[in-house]
Structure 1
Amino acid sequence: MVAHTLDQPAIVREQMPPLHRQVRWWILALLFSVTVINFVDRLTLGYVAPVLKETFNLSNTDYGFIVSCFMFGMMMGELPMGWLMDRKGPKFGFSFAVIWWSIANALHAVGGAKWHFSLFRFWMGTGECGNYSGGVKTIGQWFPARERAFATGVMNGASLVGNMITPPLIVFIMLKLNWQAAFLIPSLLGIAWVVVWRKFYHSPETHPHITPAELRYIKEGETEERLTQPTNRQLLRLRQTWAVML
C-alpha cells in the first residue's frame, strides 16, 4: 500500500517490484526493530529498580543519580556516534553502537553497588544515542527525500512500541527467572539484531537484492534534493534555524 500512496514520478514507467520485494522497506523494518530493542533496554532499569533498591540498599537519591548518568552518557555520545556513522557508515556504525550498549546493559546483571550501575548506565547511554544518528544516516541513504519524513516517523513510532511492551516483558522475565535475566535477555536480542544487520545491510548501490527500478527511484530522489539544497548562509538567515539551535 505504501508503494502506491507515495509519489513515484519518473519510475512509474519502470515496473517497480511488489512492496515486499522493495529492499528499503526491509531496511526500515530493521530500524524499527532495533529502536524497539533500544527502548526495552533503556526502560528495563525502571522496572527492576524496586528489587535493586532493596537488594543493594540504594536510596531514591542513589537511583536518581544512576538515571542521570545514563542521560549524561547520551549527551556525551551524540557527537562521537554521529561522527562514526558519517565516517564508517551505518553498517559498521550501527553494529558498533548496538553491541556497545548491549554489553553495557548485560553488565547490569553483575552490578552490586551504586557506582557499578552508574558506570553501566553512562556506558549504555553513550551507545544508545547512536540509534538515532544511525537511523537518520540509513534513511538518508535508502529513502528519497519525499519518503524520509514517513520513514523517520515509522522508526520513531517504534519507541512507543518499546514503551508499551517493556512493562509486561520485563515483569514476566523477572517472575519466571530473575532480575539478572531481565537485563541479559534484551541484550542478547540486540546481539542477534547485529547478526541480521551485518548480513542484510548494504548500501543501495551494492545491495544484492535491490532492483534497478528501486535504485533509480532512490537516486532520482537524491538528485531532486541536491538541486534544492540550501546553503549554510541561507539556513542561518532562517528564524527556524536559530530556534532549533537555541
Structure 2
Amino acid sequence: MSDTAQSQPAPPAIRRAQHVALVLLMVSGVVNYMDRGTLAVANPMIRAELGLSLGQMGLLLSAFLWIYAVCQLPIGGLVDRIGPRRLLGIGLVVWSLAQMAGGLASSFGFFIVARAVLGIGEAPQFPSAARVVSNWFPLRSRGTPTGIYNAASPLGSALAPLCLSFVVVSFNWRWAFIATGMLGLVVAIIWFALYRDPDKSQMTEAERCYLDEGSQSAGEVPPKLTFAEWRGLFSYGTTWGMLIGFFGSVYLNWVYLTWLPGYLTIERHMSLIHTGFAASVPFLCGIVGSLVAGWFSDLITRGSRSPVASRRNAVVVSMLGMMVFTIPAALVESNAIAVACISVVVFLGNAAAASSWALATAAAPPSRIASLAAIQNFGGFLGGALAPIATGFIAQASSFVPALLTAAGIAGAGAMAYLLLVRKPIPEQESAAGVAHVPA
C-alpha cells in the first residue's frame, strides 16, 4: 500500500461520481427492501383474506427468495460483462411491476408467481452495487461505501413496518404493494437519467491512479468475463467459504426480516400498531451496524497486511455475536428484552453483511468482482429462501423458540466456514485454471 496515494483525496470528478452513485444505490436499495418487506407487514391480513396456513405463508414468503438466489449466478456475470447501469435499471422496472401485481393477487398461485418475478427483478441490486463500489472506490476504501449502500437494507426494513402498517390499516394491504411498486418505477427513471458506468479510457492519469491504488491489477483494464473464468471461481476455497458462510448469515437475517412482525403478533401477542413500531427498532439499529462496520473495516484494513483477512474477521465476529444474542431473544419472557436482543442481532447482522460485501471486493479478481459477490449472495439467499419455510413449519409444529435456536446454530456454522476457508484473494491470472485450490 502506498501511504502517499492513500492520503490523497479523490479527484473532484471522481468524488462527484461517488456521491451520485451512493445516493442512487441507497434509494434503490431502500425501495428494494420495502418491497420485500411488504408481504411480512401485511402477513396477518393476507393470511386471513386468502385463507393461508402458517406453512403456506412460509412458502409465499420464500417464493421470491428461491428465484432471487438462483438468479444471482447469471446476474453476477452479466453485471461484470455489460455493466451495472443497464442491469440494475432493467431490474428496477421488472421488480416494480411485479410488486404492483402482488397487490392484485386473488389466489395463492398468482401471488407465488408475482413474488417469483419480484425475485428476478431484484437480483441485480447488490451485485450491481458491489461492482459500482469497485469501479468508483480504491481497494482499501471500499468498506465505508459498502456500509452505506448496505444500510439501505435495514433502512428499508425499518421503513416498511412504520409506513406500510399505516397504509394497511388506513386503506388495504393491496395498496401497500401498489404504492411501493409505483415508487420503484420513479426510481428507475432517476437511475437511468443520472448514473453512468465509468469509462477509464477517458479519465486523467491522476484519476486512474486513485482508483487503481492497492488493486491486484493496478493500471490495467479488467478483461471481459468468459464462462470458463467465471466457472474457475468455484475451484477456490475462498469462494466456497463465502458461499457457505453467507448462507448462515442470511438465514438468520431472513428469519427476522420475514417473520419478525408475525412473530411479535403471534408469539408475543402484540397489536399491529405496536408491532409496526417494535419491528422497526431492530432495523434502525441495523442501519447503524452497517455504517459502523463499513467505516471500521476500512480503518483496520488500512493498517493490515491482508485486506481479505481483516474484512473476513469482521464478518466472523459479527456472526458469532448474532448467534449469541438470538438465544436470549428466543427464551426471555419480557417483550422489551426480546426486542432489545433482536436489535443487537440485527445490528450485528448488518455489520456482517456490509463486511461480507466489502470482502467480495477484496477477495475477487478485478474482472470478476460482481461474479464472486453474486456467488456469495447465491449461497446467502439459499439460506434466506429456506429460513421462512423452515421457520413457518417449525413454528406451526411447535413454537418460534426452536425456530430461532435453529437459526442461531446455522449462523454459528456459517461463521466457521468464513474463518476456515476464506484465507487468500483469488488471483486474476489463475481464476479460470480449473484446478482445485485448497486454502493455505
Is TM (by shorter chain) over 0.5? yes
Q: What's 1:81 paired with?
A: 75
Q: What's 1:3 paired with?
A: none
Rounded Cα–Cα distance in structure 2 between residues aligned with 1:180 and 1:242: 40
Q: What's 1:215 paired with?
A: 207
5+ unaligned residues in a row in structure 1: which ranges? 1-6
Task: Output the amino acid matched with 1:136.
Answer: A
CA contact (8 A) 1:11 1:213 kept: no
TM-score by length of 1: 0.80
Q: Tell me if 1:164 matches 2:162.
A: no
1:48-78 deviation per Cα after TM superposition (whole angstroms, max 9, x unaligned): 1211111121222221111221221112211
Q: Tell me if 1:186 matches 2:180.
A: yes
1:21-67 deviation per Cα after TM superposition (whole angstroms, max 9, x unaligned): 62212211111111111110001001112111111212222211112
Return closer, same or farther for 1:117/1:238 CA change in 2, 3 Å cut-off: closer
Return closer, same or farther for 1:196/1:8 CA change in 2, 3 Å cut-off: farther
CA contact (8 A) 2:209 2:219 kept: no
Percent sequence identity is 26
1:151-192 deviation per Cα after TM superposition (whole angstroms, max 9, x unaligned): 111111211111211101101122333221100111111111
Q: How many residues are matched? A: 231
Rounded Cα–Cα distance in structure 2 between residues aligned with 1:24 and 1:68: 34
Q: Tell me if 1:133 matches 2:127.
A: yes
Q: What's 2:17 paired with?
A: 23
Q: What's 1:226 paired with?
A: 217
1:80-109 deviation per Cα after TM superposition (whole angstroms, max 9, x unaligned): 222331232111100111111111111011
Q: What's 2:318 paired with?
A: none
Runs of 4+ in 1 over 3 A off after TM superposition: 14-19, 210-220, 235-242
CA contact (8 A) 2:103 2:175 kept: yes
Deviation at 1:225, TM superposition (A): 3.4
Rounded Cα–Cα distance in structure 1 between residues aligned with 2:74 and 2:64: 16
Rounded Cα–Cα distance in structure 1 between residues aligned with 2:89 and 2:68: 17
CA contact (8 A) 1:145 1:225 kept: no
Pairing partner for 1:243 from 220, 229, 241? 241
Rounded Cα–Cα distance in structure 2 between residues aligned with 1:238 and 1:111: 44
Task: Output the amino acid matched with 1:66.
Answer: L
Deviation at 1:218, TM superposition (A): 4.3
Return closer, same or farther for 1:245/1:196 CA change in 2, 3 Å cut-off: closer
Task: Output the amino acid matched with 2:159.
Answer: I
Q: What's 2:5 paired with?
A: 9
Return closer, same or farther for 1:205/1:227 CA change in 2, 3 Å cut-off: closer
Q: What's 2:149 paired with?
A: 155
Rounded Cα–Cα distance in structure 1 between residues aligned with 2:206 and 2:173: 46
Return closer, same or farther for 1:243/1:18 CA change in 2, 3 Å cut-off: closer
Q: What's 2:404 paired with?
A: none
Rounded Cα–Cα distance in structure 1 between residues aligned with 2:106 and 2:189: 30
SS of 1:203's equivalent? coil
After superposition, where does 1:88-127 map in structure 2 within 5 Å?
Answer: 88-127=82-121
Q: What's 1:204 paired with?
A: 198
Return closer, same or farther for 1:193/1:215 CA change in 2, 3 Å cut-off: farther
Return closer, same or farther for 1:46/1:245 CA change in 2, 3 Å cut-off: closer
Q: Whose RCO is larger (CA < 8 A, sep 6+)?
A: 1
Return closer, same or farther for 1:22/1:242 CA change in 2, 3 Å cut-off: same
Return closer, same or farther for 1:16/1:91 CA change in 2, 3 Å cut-off: closer
5+ unaligned residues in a row in structure 2: which ranges? 221-228, 245-440
Q: What's 1:4 paired with?
A: none
CA contact (8 A) 2:11 2:207 kept: no
Deviation at 1:11, TM superposition (A): 8.2
